[in-house]
Amino acid sequence: MAIISRGFGGRRRESVPGLPPGQYLTHDFPVLSAGPTPRIPLDRWHFTITTETGEQKSWNWQEFQALPSEDVTTDIHCVTKWSKLGTTWHGVSLDTLLADVETSADYTMVHSFGGYTTNVPLEDLLDGKAWITYRFDGDDLAPEHGGPARMIVPHLYFWKSAKWVNGMQMMNSDEPGFWEAAGYHMYGDPWLEQRYQGD
C-alpha cells in the first residue's frame, strides 16, 4: 500500500501544470546564497558587458534606470527542488542591453558583486528570455534576493539567475561558472532535469 500511495503522490506532483519533473511548489521565497549578502550602494552599482574582443559597454544605476523596462510574470525552479509559479518582476530585458553589442561569441559568463559566476549561452539571454530585474512582487528587490539588481533566466534552473549581477563576459567557448565547476550541469534545463553533470 505504501508503494502505491508514493506512486500516486509522484504522479499528482508531476501533473501540476508548469511544474517540471521532480519539483514541488512553494509559496515562500527561500534564500540560497553561496556567501554573505553584499551591500552595493547605488552610486557604486554598474553593469558591464565585455565582448570576446575586449570591447565594453557599461551602465551606472542612473543610466540603467533610464532604459526601457517591463513587467515580467514567470515561474522559477531551483535545483534544490522548489518551484514558484507566477512570480512577478520588473526590469530591463537582455535584448535591450545587448541591442548595440557586436559579438560573434556563442557563450557568456555572468558575473556578480561578491564573485559569483554562472555560464549561460548567449541565445538563452535573447528573445525575451532574460532580464536584469530590480523589483520583485511590487517592491524594490531585497538584498538577500539579489538587490539592487539580479539577472533572471527563468527557463533554466535558478542558479543561472545571478544575484547582485554586475556584468557579463562574452566567450567563444563554454566554460563553467561557480556551481558548474562544482558539478552542476553546464546548461540546466529543469524540464530535462539537467541538475548535475551527466544528467
Ligand X SMILES: Nc1nc2c(c(=O)[nH]1)N[C@H]1C(S)=C(S)[C@@H](COP(=O)(O)O)O[C@H]1N2
Q: Binders of Mo ion: how many residues, by CB under 5 A? A: 4
Q: Give the burial class of 182: count Cβ atoms within 10 A of its Cβ; 0-12 exposed, 13-18 middle, 19 or more buried.
A: exposed
Residue placing its CB nearer to ligand X in the complex, 59 or 179 = 179
Strand boundaries in 62-185, DSSP class E: 70-77, 82-93, 107-112, 117-121, 131-136, 139-140, 150-152, 165-171
Residues in touch with ligand X (CB under 6 A): 29-34, 78, 112, 114, 116, 145-146, 158-159, 161-164
Judge contact between 81 and 66, C-beta under 8 A.
no
Q: CA 125, 128, 130, 134 torsion: positive or negative?
A: positive
Using CB atoms, what's the residue nearest to ligand X?
116
For residue 73, give every residue at least 6 positions away whose Cβ sits within 8 Å of its Cβ, in sequence order, or none.
86, 87, 88, 89
Closest separation in Å from C-beta 180 to Mo ion: 12
Choose among Mo ion, ligand X, none what residue 145 binds, the Cβ cut-off being 5 to 8 Å by kind: ligand X
Q: End-to-end alpha-carbon separation of the chain, Å?
A: 31
Stretch that binds Mo ion, among 19-27, 31-39, 57-65, 113-121 (CB under 5 A): 31-39
Residue listed under C-alpha cell 557586436: 102
Stretch that binds Mo ion, among 16-24, 26-34, 112-120, 181-189 (CB under 5 A): 26-34
Closest separation in Å from C-beta 3 to ligand X: 32
Closest separation in Å from C-beta 5 to ligand X: 30
Judge contact between 152 and 72, C-beta under 8 A.
yes
> Per CB under 5 A, does 182 bind Mo ion?
no
Closest separation in Å from C-beta 30 to ligand X: 5
Residue placing its CB nearer to ligand X in the complex, 103 or 175 = 175
Residues 32-91 that bind Mo ion (CB under 5 A): 32, 78-79
Residues making contact with Mo ion (CB under 5 A): 32, 78-79, 159
